[in-house]
């Protein structure tokens, strides 16, 4: 089944690179067809084997609450409140595509992968697919290919490369999340030169997006990870990696500017111009004003501070710009229940991966550290941009990371046998007892 996950990721990347939804019907595309195929195969496997074990139940419950509340708010917004210009059908299709399907990407990946061989194969295939999309972004900017990569031409977007995954901030946020995984593969693979090259390709596109939010997310996420995982990262290794990282950053930036000189001017303007301004609104590229306007709309109806206005309602409000903050967008539409569910899932998977580090072996530990770094970077990136298109990739990666964490736990339990019970059980002693995952 691992090859089906690889096929799913390939379909996602192919659709984004070619700029095609590959739609078969409203709400159904090629990637959805592969996804449902995987889910049907998982259901068939459960029926045949009789194994109906559900793992990570807190995540399951949080997803059910998240999606359930979104469906309820969608119904209230479209049927009871009836906002002007609110399209109930299109919003429902959007709810399926932007919330339900990504959740299914996570569950399909998590349950389809059962062994180390499965996880490592899919992880490398996933990283390779993201790298390929970033490579074609570079060839498009240079002029070797023509996949239609957008480059901003005016205003705050001028000179910024959007990449294959939506807006420049979305592409930057996804790269900040996935790049640590590529680095972990490069550090452990026999083909290190190839994978380090893949890491440099993705890093080059990250620079080309000129997404300050992604830059901050990658920097703070890495520093946070070093602190959280300091027991497993020798100080000498951290110092060497830091020096090599700085050299690599300078080299890649020089190469990017050499290939596309306009990137240098854009970087200078956004990093040395806006970022050093004394005007908070200019430093945030207008985000503070946008955030204030969104919160002001909620203050008009104080009940929405808890309930939200409803799924997909921000688009029909008297606003001109996206929230540029995924947490605020979720809060605005789904209130405290939706925001709490999203934050809980993101925090919970980081905690599970961090705890698994304590018992992981040398083969799995680098990938868990990469996962923690990527997720911390993502949680920071969501503060500065809306994430829409990259969510399927993110949830697939979370599914991979959670399987790695549980494999680490299973390996430890198999290595350390359970202590014998002190109280004799009489005839029942023939029954086998297994220590349950903590």
Distance in angstroms (rounded) separating the CA atoms of residues 234 and 40: 45
Per-residue pLDDT, 254: 85
Which range among 35-39, 46-50, 429-433 shows the weakest confidence by mean pLDDT?
A: 429-433
Give CA angle at 392 (138, 105), nearest 5°: 140
List pLDDT tens digits, range 120-146.
999 999 999 999 999 999 999 888 988
Percent of the chain with pLDDT over 90: 58
Is residue 150's pLDDT more than 50? yes
Q: What residues pair up with 28 in beta bridges, in sequence order?
A: 25
Distance in angstroms (rounded) separating the CA atoms of residues 398 and 262: 35
Which range among 8-22, 74-88, 189-203, 409-423 shows the weakest confidence by mean pLDDT?
A: 409-423
Output the average pLDDT for the chain. 86
Is residue 51's pLDDT more than 80? no
Is residue 423's pLDDT more than 70? no
Close Cβ partners of 377 (under 8 Å, ≥ 6 residues apart): 176, 177, 180, 217, 218, 220, 221, 222
Is residue 438's pLDDT more than 50? no
Is residue 275's pLDDT more than 70? no
24 confidence band (pLDDT: 50, 70, 90): low
Per-residue pLDDT, 97: 87
Is residue 416's pLDDT more than 60? no
Distance in angstroms (rounded) separating the CA atoms of residues 218 and 166: 19
Return the SS3 of 28: strand
Distance in angstroms (rounded) separating the CA atoms of residues 352 and 349: 5
Among residues 342, 345, 341, 357, the alpha carbon closest in space to that of 407 is found at 357
pTM score, whole prediction: 0.89
Distance in angstroms (rounded) separating the CA atoms of residues 222 and 80: 46
Is the pLDDT higher at 389 or at 273? 389
204: burial class by Cβ within 10 Å (0-12, 13-18, 19+)?
buried
Distance in angstroms (rounded) separating the CA atoms of residues 344 and 350: 10
Give CA angle at 403 (401, 405), nearest 5°: 70
Per-residue pLDDT, 238: 84
């Amino acid at each position: 089944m691992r090859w089906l996950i690889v096929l799913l990721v390939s379909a996602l990347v192919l659709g984004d690179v070619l700029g095609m939804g590959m739609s078969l019907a409203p709400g159904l595309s090629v990637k959805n067809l592969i996804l449902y195929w995987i889910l049907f195969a998982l259901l068939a496997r459960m029926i045949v084997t009789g194994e109906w074990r559900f793992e990570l139940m807190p995540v399951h419950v949080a997803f059910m609450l998240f999606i359930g509340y979104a469906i309820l708010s969608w119904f209230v917004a479209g049927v009871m409140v009836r906002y002007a210009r609110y399209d109930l059908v299109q919003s429902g299709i959007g709810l399926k595509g932007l919330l339900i399907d990504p959740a299914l990407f996570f569950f399909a990946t998590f349950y389809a992968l059962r062994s180390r061989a499965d996880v490592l194969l899919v992880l490398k295939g996933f990283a390779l697919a993201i790298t390929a999309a970033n490579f074609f972004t570079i060839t498009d900017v240079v002029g070797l290919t023509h996949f239609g990569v957008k480059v901003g031409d005016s205003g705050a977007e001028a000179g910024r490369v959007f990449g294959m995954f939506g807006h420049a901030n979305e592409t930057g946020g996804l790269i900040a999340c996935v790049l640590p995984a590529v680095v972990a593969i490069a550090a452990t693979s026999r083909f290190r030169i190839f994978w380090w090259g893949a890491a440099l390709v993705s890093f080059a596109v990250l620079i080309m997006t000129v997404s300050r939010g992604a830059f901050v997310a990658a920097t703070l996420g890495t520093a946070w990870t070093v602190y959280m995982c300091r027991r497993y990262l020798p100080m000498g290794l951290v110092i060497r990696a830091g020096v090599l990282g700085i050299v690599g950053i300078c080299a890649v930036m020089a190469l990017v500017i050499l290939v596309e000189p306009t990137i240098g001017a854009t970087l200078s303007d956004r990093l040395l111009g806006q970022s050093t301004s004394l005007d908070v609104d200019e430093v945030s590229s207008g985000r503070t004003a946008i955030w204030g306007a969104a919160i002001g709309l909620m203050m008009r109806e104080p009940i929405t501070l808890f309930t939200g206005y409803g799924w997909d309602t921000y688009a029909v409000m008297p606003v001109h710009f996206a929230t540029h903050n995924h947490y605020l967008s979720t809060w605005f539409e789904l209130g405290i229940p939706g925001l709490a569910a999203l934050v809980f899932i993101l925090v919970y998977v980081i905690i599970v991966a961090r705890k698994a580090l304590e018992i992981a072996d040398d083969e799995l530990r680098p990938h868990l550290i990469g996962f923690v770094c990527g997720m911390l970077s993502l949680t920071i990136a969501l503060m500065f941009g809306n994430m829409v298109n990259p969510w399927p990739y993110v949830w697939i990666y979370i599914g991979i990371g959670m399987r790695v964490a549980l494999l680490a736990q299973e390996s430890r339990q198999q290595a350390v046998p359970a202590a014998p019970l002190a109280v004799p059980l009489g005839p029942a002693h023939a029954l086998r007892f297994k220590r349950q995952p903590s």
